[in-house]
Amino acid sequence: MTHQPPTSGERVARYLERTGAPPGVQLHELPGDASTRRYVRVTAPSGHSQMLLVHPEPIDADSLPFLNVARLLDRMGVRVPRVIRCEADLGIVELQDLGDLTLQQCLVTTPAHERADRYLEAVEIIATIQHRGRELSSEEYVPFGLAFDVDKLMSELDFFVDHFLIAARGASPSPDQRSELRHALLPLASMLAAEPRVLCHRDYHSRNLMVHDDHLYVIDFQDARLGPDTYDLVSLLRDSYVDNPSVLIEQMIDEYLRLTRRGDYADFRRRFDLMSVQRHLKALGTFGYQSTEAGTSRYEDDIPRTLRYLTSVFDRHAQFDRLRALLSSYVSELA
């Protein structure tokens, strides 16, 4: 007789029993992100709450990227949720509960001058991660053994073709057309992979920054790796989930250059746009996957904004004319 592994709900119940949770605790599962992990808030009768990060299988606490990167960011002085306990056999990590207020939600009611302050804090965190990342680089930490090389960048662009162009938009490129598209995308990946590398959060946007005790806390950092210095800044300022005015984007690019003491604004701005193209094509792939494979419409409203960002870059840079022509045959918004 085959024994079925315990469900995530059964494992949460075992966790609560094992850790001596008081009677009457309430469980609330948060809306899922684009991963297989679940987040469950556990609230005691006293009102005190903690967050359970529930993986789909047992974990190795020594090698789990989330815990490894959490230690690294904490060492840098970057605010992350405090790790309270880990039960590896159950695949559960207990974390500090930061509440529900993301930067995205906070911006809805934030006056313009305070919006800039929030973004400045977020840019300062990027500068800290890059600076301290150079100082703390070590084989001890997982991200320093990973990088956005050509293969990784191209795999994300292939993901876009498979899950957005073909699955979500119904494109049916012939083998020759697909080869031509890949040939047009390869220079983009090659140029980005050749840039000097810094430590990147890898998904640094308004839904992964929590506002807690009037400070920004960073979450969802387990995929951190080395990559271009523009990667996290593009994710933040050209966020697929937020409409940021161009004046704010330019102001925050200036602040980043000031904080990092980088010169040559024109070159950085060009590289920022280059990164934008890859980052937004990758995001569209994720949105397409979530719609067609995961069956959620949660990201559909974010697609037009992401396409607008792409169009604005294509309008400024003739080097993308061939890529734009190929893509617009499948995505009319890019024409």
Per-residue pLDDT reduced to its tens digit, 104-151: 999 999 888 899 999 999 999 999 999 999 999 999 999 999 999 999
At 235, the amino acid letter reads: S
Residue 219 has pLDDT above 70, yes or no: yes
Distance between the two ends of the chain, CA-based, in angstroms?
59
pLDDT of residue 112: 83
Question: What is the rounded (10 degree) CA torsion for 250, 251, 257, 263?
Answer: 60
pLDDT in tens, 53-62: 999 999 999 8
Q: What pLDDT is stored for residue 239 in this prediction?
A: 97
| Residue 317 tokens, joined | 């840079």
| pLDDT reported for residue 34 | 58
pLDDT in tens, 2-48: 556 778 889 999 999 999 988 899 999 987 665 678 999 999 999 99
How many percent of the chain have pLDDT more than 90?
88
Residue 262: per-residue pLDDT: 84
User: What is the residue-averaged pLDDT of the chain?
Assistant: 94
d(CA 57, CA 113): 45
Residue 209 has pLDDT above 90, yes or no: yes
- Does 33 or 99 have the greater pLDDT score? 99
The reported pLDDT for the residue numbered 236 is 98
* Paired sense of beta strands 197-200 and 225-228, if any: antiparallel
pLDDT score recorded for residue 279: 97
pLDDT of residue 32: 62
What average pLDDT score do residues 237-263 get?
94
Q: Which domains does the chain have, with CATH numbers?
A: 8-96 (3.30.200.20), 103-334 (3.90.1200.10)
Tell me: the pLDDT tens digits for 275-297?
999 999 999 999 999 999 988 88
Q: What does 244-260 look like in DSSP terms, one character per residue? A: --HHHHHHHHHHHHHHH
The pLDDT of residue 211 is 97
Q: How far is CA 312 from the centre of its chain?
A: 22
Centroid of chain to Cα 209: 10
Res. 1: pLDDT tops 50: no
Query: What is the amino acid identity at position 140?
Result: E
Is residue 228 within 8 Å of 148, Cβ to Cβ?
yes
Coil, helix or strand at residue 95? strand
Amino acid at position 302, single letter: D
Amino acid 54: pLDDT: 95
Q: pLDDT band for 75, please (50, 70, 90 cuts).
A: very high
